[in-house]
Structure 1
Amino acid sequence: MLGNHDPYPANQMPYDTDNTAYYKGGYYSATISEKLRLIGLNTNLYYDQDRLTKDLPDPAQHLDFLDKQLQEARKHNQMVYIIAHVPPGVFELGSGLTWFYPKYNKQYLEKLEEFADIISLQLYGHEHTDSFRVQFDAEGTGDDWQKEYDTSDVYALDELRPAKLHELARAFTDRSNKLFQHYLQYNSVLWAGNTECNETCHLHHLCAITQLDYDNFRTCISGGVTTHHPTQTTHHHPHRSTPQPQVPTYMFYLIGGLAAVVFLLFLLVACMCLRKGRRLRAPRYAKFGSLSLNS
């Protein structure tokens, strides 16, 4: 994700008319799952401090790219997350301070409104503040939100504590249990209305909820003991005993060799020191010794 300080000089984002060189626009799209697409945009191209893009109709074909990606997402019944650095709109801590050139801000907002039915999340940076925005459509129906469900009502929970959720998971072991049916109904968050779930489907849901450890999950899926006893905790993993670390044989030879080298060096230094000490010591009948005795 490129920021306005990534180019040099800062804020001057090259627009690349043919979209074939430099950074190819600095935007991308990635399919996160069958139902979700992530679109990373380079809104620095719209930044009103960028003198290179001020008078362009669509710098780096950015808006055209966004339109095509949103069309593809709608065609494949995908929801979209949009991430970018510079946000549209007005900065809440500045007196009328804005980031986009006015024409780009208008075009960008129109595109977001056109595809509001599939854009579920937008994340921006740049401002160094924690805030949010609510965009209304042309009719002002931005407050037309619908409540899907209430967890405490649907699952008959008076409080959200681990023990209560454990009891709920225990109830899910019965595929016909109405609580599990409620769970299936709301699991897709209105993306799919089909709540049919065979034994394999039921097992995957149950194991995913109760077995976060990978090995325990595989044991659960394969019909191991945890499948029939989801009340058991996974604090201990007897089937995953931790092996004691083993020292490779070659390490013993390496350590022994190093010890021998150190010992030989010690002997060599000791011999050198001994010989040097003998050279420095005056003989018993040396010239200076005799003078010292006579004096």
Structure 2
Amino acid sequence: MLGYFITVIYLLTTVNQGLCDDGYFWHVTDFHYDPTYETTSLSCKESKVGDQIGTFGDMWCDSPWILIESCVQAMKKFKRNVDFVLWTGDTILHADVEKINHTFNAVILDNTTDVLKAAFPDIPVYATFGNHDAYPTGQFPPNNTLLYNESLARWRSWINDDTQDEDFRNGGFYTVKTSYGIRIVALNTNFYYTPNKLVSPEGDPAGQFAWLTETLGNATDQNEKVIVTAHISPGVTPKPDIPFFSDQNDKLVEILRQFADIIVAMHFGHEHADAFKVLKNTAGVPTAPLFLAPSIAPLRFGPMHNPGVRLVKYDRITGKHIDISQYYLDLNAANRAGVADWKLEYTASDAYNIQDLTASSLTALIDRMEDSDSTEFKTYRKFYYVSPPENLTEDCDWKCHAVIFCGFTEFNLDDVKKCEKKMVSEAIRMTSWKYLYGFLVFVLVTYIHT
């Protein structure tokens, strides 16, 4: 009898553990390593060179090697035992095309691959290309290239599936299953990036759309859960604009929306900012969360921002994303102290008071950010720039807020503009009523006192 109860207890414990199995993975992006940082400083703006720049980096420059090493070592320190790493590209510096070449870029990709392998020797890294990883910058042909072939050799031990070779050689995309059964779909969205002159702004470069449809269809048939990853995200940026050719943005969104019910999350880089969106399925229900991770490179294209890297907590069984621990380096403090002290910037659950990172939780958070004066929106703005050394919570007017808010859930530029126009009109109407009400109160008080 005692043995029977022991068996029952064991089985119940096993079942309960199986219902939720927490795992972790890192997402790192946009290293933009500048090997000339301390000499000719090819990436630096504002004519910053030599002793004018900080040891660990400068907000007018791309990353020195010491910044990249400190980031990878911080990842290892904070959480060495992860299930995998997502590395979403843009490892090459921003530099004039005549100052670099394919061989120069290849050494950068080799060095960065090696430092990740050294820190996580037995953990797969699922890498994708950024627009700067090609030479010339942004030029990705839909056929076999030296970059694809060399990178397949670099990353073969991570992909570990020779059935993916043909697709990778032809277009730099692939799919693998993690050891816990979650399917990773790694795309090359640089095909659709408007600066790419080697593809038509219409059609299906390298057959990636057809491949994606088939891959997600097979995943549906096999009851798999999917994480989609790439460098550049579909949708609208806060400028506002879309980084992709319009037709191809809409086609990619259409495919992702069709299979949104099996996509547990999507992870991108490129924007050098901390952001998220939520994609609706074909029934119009918010279903698939989309996350943009901030860059390691501190080079600014607008307001200042610090380097950041994130740790994602997820359920290994369902793929559901539970939390994000966002780490960052206060770059000015690191340069003053001579020590790279990476710290926890926030956890999403605490910062936004949400239980998990599902589409429903994020949609409720978005609803709370409809008010531009809300704590949640001001917090989002601060983290968007990775806790920058200047106040950015007060420089977002009605139009700025409307574009950001509409971009959370709208992935077509025309739809964002319609939403934006409606929100701005409503803000003007409410403000007009506010001033009219104040004027009427003033008149009434004045009349009473006279």
Q: Which structure's CA Rg is the greater one?
A: 1
TM-score, normalised to structure 1's length?
0.45
TM-score, normalization by structure 2: 0.30
Q: Which has the higher contact order (CA 8 A, sep 6+)?
A: 2
Determine which structure has the larger strand proportion and give its number: 2
